[in-house]
Amino acid sequence: MELWQEMLRASVDSGKDLVERFNFDKDLAEKLNTLFHIRINPYYLSLIRYPGDPIWLQCIPDAQELVPDDFPLDPLNEEADSPVPSITHRYPDRVLFLTTSQCSMYCRFCTRKRKVGDSGKISMKFIQTGLDYIAAHTEIRDVILSGGDPLMLTDVMLEKIVSGLRAIPHVEIIRLGTKMPCVLPQRITLKLCKMLKKYHPIYVNTHFNHPWECTTEAKQACEMLADAGIPVGNQAVLMKGVNDDPDVMLELMRKLLFMRVRPYYLYQADITKGANHFRTPVSVGLNIMDKLRGHTSGLAIPAYVIDAPGGGGKIPILPQYVLGRNGNNIILRNYKYDIYQYPDVGEEEKKPEAQLERRYMRKRTKPVRKKVYESQPTRAEVSSK
């Protein structure tokens, strides 16, 4: 048994553990564990400095999770874009491939808590079905392995999946969505990196949310991946009390670059049932982005996105830099709020319908969802109408 597996065995993973270690009320602990399973491995637990700190908030259950809300269990409507079990095919050329239901640490803000931790919903028995679907759809050139966390699989099992994907001619890029470099960096071993190196191009997207997670162990794990030729990107989630401060976010982004991790996305927190207490106003995220741009390297600036409720996909949002026009000049402001004018190139006269099509870059192929929370029809229901 490897070290990371031994550490998993020593995890806090029950309501009883919450009572004994953190003095939780017994009934509350059991309700929280039933709502969404608890698992905190010893490494990540060791990062907590005091109750209620940014690490604590991410991993220790909270009574606020039980507060009733009107938010959906599947806020991104992934099920409607799931043609076969464990595949989400939302974008034209790429798919999400769920490979395991297990994680080394269950984040309390998880957007997929309806499935994560439940082996009946994300199962190894669906792996071949997923591979067959990808092989049959030649438009798919990019596959993201997720779950759960794909690095919860053994090296042998993970290699079977990765080699199966690499055997499909039209699959160009394989990505691993894993939180292991952050929450259990001991999982990143030379053996794992040597195996993955055989199947390039391989990319890793990981998930650091606070500077305290950027430890010596985490740095070593990320550098091992980078040394194996695997680019590592980070997808942070903006959360109240964790990282909703420009100085904290700036420190995180700089530390990530020092660890050879490229900031990729900053997510506005999803409208996930039981996680509303993590959400911040969008204005908080825009203010953070405003304090990053120009104040640090462009390498350290992620794309701030909202994953649109109802399955609309990732929509980037930015502070307002274009202030208006003065004739042919565009009025701009920079990070210091100094004002500049840029002489624009005149545009050719176009018909109104051509202007509309150009504005949206393509003709709309399906109607806009009118309500973000209503249940969406399945593909079978759509085709039968």
The residues annotated with a catalytic role in the active site are 90-91, 94, 103, 107, 110, 112, 270, 307, 314
Distance CA 286, CA 233 (A): 21
Share of the chain above pLDDT 90, in %: 80
The tens digit of pLDDT for each residue in 328-355 reads 999 999 999 999 999 998 776 666 666 6
What would the mean pLDDT of 367-380 be, rounded to a whole number? 44
- The mean of the pLDDT values for the chain is 91
The pLDDT value recorded for residue 3 is: 96
Query: Mean per-residue pLDDT for 357-379?
Result: 50
Q: Which whole number is the average pLDDT over 172-188?
A: 98
Which residue shows structure tokens 């794909």? Answer: 150
Give percent of the chain above pLDDT 70. Answer: 90
Q: Which helix (H) or strand (E) holds 205?
A: strand 202-206
What does the block give as tokens for 106?
A: 């269950």
Q: Identify the pLDDT of residue 82.
A: 94
pLDDT of residue 174: 98
Peptide bond just before 120 cis, omega within 30 deg? no
Cis? peptide before 201, omega within 30° of 0? yes
Whether the pLDDT of residue 80 is over 70: the answer is yes
In this prediction the pTM is 0.88
CA–CA dist 210, 242 (Å, integer): 7
Q: Render 41-60 in DSSP notation, one character per residue.
A: -HHHHTT--STTSHHHHHHS
Q: Is the pLDDT of residue 269 over 80?
A: yes
Distance CA(204)–CA(233), nearest Å, equals 6
CA angle 328, 333, 336 (to 5 degrees): 160
Residues 341, 230: Cα–Cα separation, whole Å: 41
pLDDT at 381: 46
**C-alpha span between 345 and 236 (Å, rounded):** 38
Q: Is 123 exposed, middle or buried (0-12, 13-18, 19+ CB in 10 A)?
A: middle
